[in-house]
Structure 1
């Protein structure tokens, strides 16, 4: 429960999470080793080396104590400085110590300054130039003394080398691990893409690969996809046979009724026509997206053709707006049937319909609005269920609907990996139906 605040900041993709799991331990290990190395090793070694250097500096300054001039002081200390590999000089009266800028990666320098300042009361400054001897400035009775000696007398010459080496090999091994991890995650990504495409009504080539667990999941997906495709094919064949077998006796009934007197055959003919309508609606719902295969379609041209066809049959429909451009992969015949159902419902329960299209980089939205009575919020979930009639909301006397129109649209939208959303039209005041599918 306490980790909920962290979830919005965590990566969502499997690759990013695996990378985070890989990088965080490496960074933690580097930090721990670096801190332990600096505190437990470098600082102790530097302190010991600095104390030794201070004793040598005190030896040189003690020898100079009795001299009356700078030349005498330097001459007196010359034998000791040669033995200690030091050089010395006094600054001129107007000359200032040249300290210069400290290197950013010289993290031992602050400790050196603190150690020398505490151990040498006459300490003035110290210069730590790169690749040159250290210059230590001390205040004496004869003026400011400059002592020069090698940096390795105070601290390790390159204390940062260990950290640089660790960082280099950490980056190298992490890069190799990233390449290996990418190869291991690629089969999972391919499986996810194949499953997503199949959920949107497309079948892409896929063969299981990768680790044993990933292969097992891939084989299970292939078997599931094969069974679903086989069931869809069997359903299509069954519907074709049912359609043929049921339409034939209905046609014979119509022919037989046409031979009877009109006053006797009229009620029976109405029953036969109603049975025909029920059969057509049921077959249309059961057919789903069986016809056709996904194609790359320009939805603007495709939707404009549907509205023009609706106008020719006498529907009051208008394509009011098209936002975005590009192609979308879907089954054009199935989606056409869904849009035509929405337009048919709109002009049946209202007087006009407005159609709009909006394309984004990730989705396509087809909207159909009408000026009819609409559907109350509490009944919109029931409205998309098969064989549901909402008598209080929609006047069923205006048409011979059997409660499958919106169910067909919802089924087609789901088959494309999308959804049907119902709301209230802000422009016309009636029902607003959106078909939303991914691109």
Structure 2
């Protein structure tokens, strides 16, 4: 549970995770080195130097007043009497003087006579001692009791750590760039666009890129083969149908009408095959206003006498779509809706991240366990839809599904809460 909670706060992008992998060890090493340095340098070294100074101070304080200058002079310790009021002064030090804490503690523990420790000046140490001869001020060089500029090691460590991190990040960015290029090429291919891509980078990334290129070429060949096959078959069937129409035109009306209806149905089926074969290969993506496209399809349906209306429009903006293919997909959904229901409603919802085109009808709908099959080519669900209101070849939803996938989206089927029939949503990421 704790790991899952921690994972929620970790970076999701590859750059963020790579930076975390790079920076976390550096920060841990800095903390460990800092703790060891403070303990060994600030404490142990300062203790040793303070003990040496304490021995010299005891020698000076224990000397007779007559020989005090002769002892304090060579030790470079300045001793002079002060007023008793000075004994009440507080201890002082600079806020960043961490070694001053160790110095003050060590001096007071070794010499209880010390009343005031003044470390405000980094160059000297000033002590006020309550001795047998009265209050004395003792001043000596700070370098005798603590190392000069002890913070330099920490500063150098931080500086070079930042420098190495920047260099490593630049190198890491060059290593991650081929992965980002591969991700963009895969995303574009998933949305039906062909982006130029050449494998590069490390051996593993190059191998993944080569595998992607091979897979993309194989899928494109399969799509091209399917398109050519269906287009060829459908095109070849037009010629005998044309001859049949000419032959039927010479028959009597009673015999001609049923046969012409059969020929018309066959022509409609061939047109559906051609639409399915064309799929998403007819045009390149371009900036399209989904609201205007939906209104245009609804107006065309209304002119054809179909009960189709716009229910709601949420948001606005442009989207990268193949206008011919997307119009075909939405038109198929509207045609299915009015074929199996009395009326249909179209809704458009546009957000910063997605586009949703919804078509609802009041027909019998499709059972939940058959909705996946309904999106497969050449599948007709007789029990689910009212076949008396129109015939089909089972390609309407399959074409819409293919077009949605070609745009990097999905076709979702459900039940309309308002109308009670089928709800078909084309959802595409923007």
**TM-score, with normalisation over the residues of structure 1?**
0.88
The answer to whether the aligner puts 1:404 opposite 2:401 as a matched pair is no
Q: Shift in Å at residue 91 of structure 1?
A: 4.6
The residue aligned with 2:28 is 28
Partner residue of 1:429 out of 398, 420, 424: 420
The answer to whether the aligner puts 1:103 opposite 2:69 as a matched pair is no
What is the CA–CA distance in structure 2 between the aligned matches of 1:28 and 1:101, rounded to whole Å? Answer: 30
Give the unaligned 5+ runs of structure 1: 65-72
- Confirm or deny: 8 A CA contact 2:330 2:400 kept in the other structure: yes
- Confirm or deny: 8 A CA contact 1:370 1:431 kept in the other structure: yes
User: Is the partner of 1:108 in helix, strand or coil?
Assistant: helix
The residue aligned with 1:184 is 175
The residue aligned with 2:354 is 363
Q: Shift in Å at residue 427 of structure 1?
A: 3.6
User: Is the partner of 1:137 in helix, strand or coil?
Assistant: strand
User: Is the partner of 1:213 in helix, strand or coil?
Assistant: helix
User: Is the partner of 1:184 in helix, strand or coil?
Assistant: helix
What is the CA–CA distance in structure 1 between the aligned matches of 2:109 and 2:93, rounded to whole Å? Answer: 22
The residue aligned with 2:380 is 389
The answer to whether the aligner puts 1:194 opposite 2:191 as a matched pair is no
Going from structure 1 to structure 2, the CA distance change for 1:93 and 1:41 (only over 3 Å counts) comes to closer
Alignment of 1:258-407 (within 5 A): 258-407=249-398
The one-character-per-residue Cα deviations of 1:68-104 (angstroms, maximum 9, x if unpaired) are: xxxxx6x763333322222244553444425345323
The one-character-per-residue Cα deviations of 1:223-263 (angstroms, maximum 9, x if unpaired) are: 44344334444444433322221111122223323433444
What is the CA–CA distance in structure 2 between the aligned matches of 1:133 and 1:182, rounded to whole Å? Answer: 50
The residue aligned with 2:115 is 124
Q: Shift in Å at residue 398 of structure 1?
A: 1.7
User: Is the partner of 1:187 in helix, strand or coil?
Assistant: helix
- Confirm or deny: 8 A CA contact 2:349 2:357 kept in the other structure: yes
Q: Shift in Å at residue 122 of structure 1?
A: 2.1
What is the CA–CA distance in structure 2 between the aligned matches of 1:8 and 1:394, rounded to whole Å? Answer: 45
Give the unaligned 5+ runs of structure 2: none
Q: Shift in Å at residue 414 of structure 1?
A: 0.8
Going from structure 1 to structure 2, the CA distance change for 1:117 and 1:100 (only over 3 Å counts) comes to closer
- Confirm or deny: 8 A CA contact 1:351 1:371 kept in the other structure: yes
Higher deviation after alignment, 315-324 or 14-23:
315-324
Alignment of 1:87-102 (within 5 A): 87-95=78-86, 96-102=88-94
The answer to whether the aligner puts 1:213 opposite 2:204 as a matched pair is yes
Higher deviation after alignment, 89-98 or 384-393:
89-98
The residue aligned with 2:155 is 164
Going from structure 1 to structure 2, the CA distance change for 1:130 and 1:421 (only over 3 Å counts) comes to farther
- What is the CA RMSD across the aligned residues, in angstroms? 2.7
**TM-score, with normalisation over the residues of structure 2?**
0.89
The one-character-per-residue Cα deviations of 1:149-173 (angstroms, maximum 9, x if unpaired) are: 2222222122221121111111101
User: Is the partner of 2:98 in helix, strand or coil?
Assistant: coil
